[in-house]
Amino acid sequence: MTKLKLSLAAIAASLILPVLPAQAATPCSTHDAITKQLSSRYKEARQGLGLTSQTTVIELFVGDEGTWTLLATDTKGRTCIIGSGEGWEDQPKVLAGLDS
């Protein structure tokens, strides 16, 4: 009976543990806390934002050294980092319908 319980516990743990890193991989906090970190640690400032639905705002923060971070904020003020990287390059704005 003890071997059966240990086997079941091991199987249950193997099913649960792979889920934990995925949940921890999306850092979330208050909007103020995350944007202060982006400003002080990475020298990133907001370059743009957009509304994806009635409940989510997407913001792009970019630093002078080419770092970038993409945030998603819900209506309760919970902000999550949904993407980040290096090598950001600003592109010249082109008006639609005009030849460049």
> What is the per-residue pLDDT for 99?
63
Condensed to tens digits (0 to 9), the pLDDT of residues 24-44 reads 557 999 999 999 999 999 999
pTM beyond cutoff 0.75: no
- More confidently predicted of 27 and 10: 27
Q: Does pLDDT of 83 surpass 60?
A: yes
What pLDDT score was predicted for residue 93? 83
Residue 57: what pLDDT? 96
Average pLDDT over residues 41-54: 94
SS (H, E, C) the chain: CHHHHHHHHHHHHHHHCCHHHHHHCCCEEEHHHHHHHHHHHHCEEEEEEEECCCCEEEEEEEECCCCEEEEEEECCCEEEEEEEECCCCCCCCCCCCCCC
